[in-house]
Structure 1
């Protein structure tokens, strides 16, 4: 292999995890009251972003759809994705070129989320797990600008991608395509 295929990413830490949950309110109560995490933001009433440190989130809880709840098997992992932090957008772009050169399936991205404001690129590992590289996440704490939790509207493109798919390398997920179709374009 030569060129972009030879690039080797340089993640500097394991980032965040997104779990699909049967009851987002019950799971929030558990992770807030038992584990001790703080709420950073919400998307509607179906996804909550939690933190224990200065990253905007290190755990997000995503409400399963009714079909997912009905088919859920306790003990089976409901991980939507896990992530690794990289230095910046230029590295994400190099990683994207490497993934494409190697024929690795890109699931979504390159984009910039509303909650957390992080740039992202999600791809599939050989077992179909979603892996994300991200950068530039909002930092929360005494050495950073104040952050007030808010509820983001899941029907707005800015919630999913502040760049409105301008840097996306693949077709958007079906739920985002429906959002575009319902609004008559991006």
Structure 2
């Protein structure tokens, strides 16, 4: 029998939004969430409990602000928590063995500090397994920071060393910027 993951809970959701400031106001003032971190001014991480984030908002690129409803996918990914990095590795082996398309990972994000593997479901939705997210409690408070979206450490603190697939084009663009800056 092939390995089967044992997720502990639904972890977080990343929504694509047309106006990040308007959505931020809604989720903080109406829903009551707290800001954990930002990536530049285009992505904000929010929480309602101890996990660093359970909702993230990602600004749609220019030109999609007035897109007709339903014409642009609004969910970037949703995630399930597993206990350890070893479990992430075991899940990755299972995904490869089953021929399931992997979008990105294995890696460790800057904001939240969590490890991740992201893969496609049969309809092309991004699903993530993650472990080791920063916990925000009275004993371990967190001060929100703004991460640079053009820095590899924001996306993957391990600099793609554990990636099992070629990075997506948007990540290659970051790598190209780092190479040009380093070679100048």
State the TM-score, normalizing by the size of structure 1.
0.93
Name the residue aligned to 1:116: 112
**Hey, what's the Cα distance between the residues in 1 that align with 2:48 and 2:68?**
28
Q: In the TM superposition, what whole-angstrom CA distance separates every residue of 1:17-51 from its partner, at most 9, and x where no partner exists?
A: 00000000000000000000000000000000000
| Equivalent position to 1:153, from 148, 154, 164 | 148
Unmatched runs of 5 consecutive residues or more in structure 1: none
Name the residue aligned to 1:17: 13
Secondary structure of 1:28's partner? Answer: helix
Aligned structure 1 segments of 4 or more residues deviating by more than 2 angstroms: 67-72, 74-77
Question: Which structure 2 residues correspond to residues 44-123 of structure 1 after superposition, within 5 A?
Answer: 44-73=40-69, 78-123=74-119
Question: Which structure 2 residues correspond to residues 7-46 of structure 1 after superposition, within 5 A?
Answer: 7-46=3-42
**Hey, what's the Cα distance between the residues in 1 that align with 2:46 and 2:177?**
30
Deviation at 1:77, TM superposition (A): 5.2
Unmatched runs of 5 consecutive residues or more in structure 2: none
The number of residue pairs the alignment matches comes to 181
| Equivalent position to 1:171, from 147, 157, 166 | 166
**Hey, what's the Cα distance between the residues in 1 that align with 2:68 and 2:104?**
24
Q: Which moved more, 1:70-79 or 1:24-33?
A: 70-79
Asked if 1:183 is matched to 2:172, the reply is no
Secondary structure of 1:120's partner? Answer: strand
Question: Which structure 2 residues correspond to residues 109-148 of structure 1 after superposition, within 5 A?
Answer: 109-143=105-139, 145-148=140-143
State the TM-score, normalizing by the size of structure 2.
0.94
Deviation at 1:70, TM superposition (A): 4.0
Secondary structure of 1:91's partner? Answer: helix
Deviation at 1:69, TM superposition (A): 2.6
Secondary structure of 2:10's partner? Answer: strand
RMSD: 1.6
Secondary structure of 1:66's partner? Answer: coil
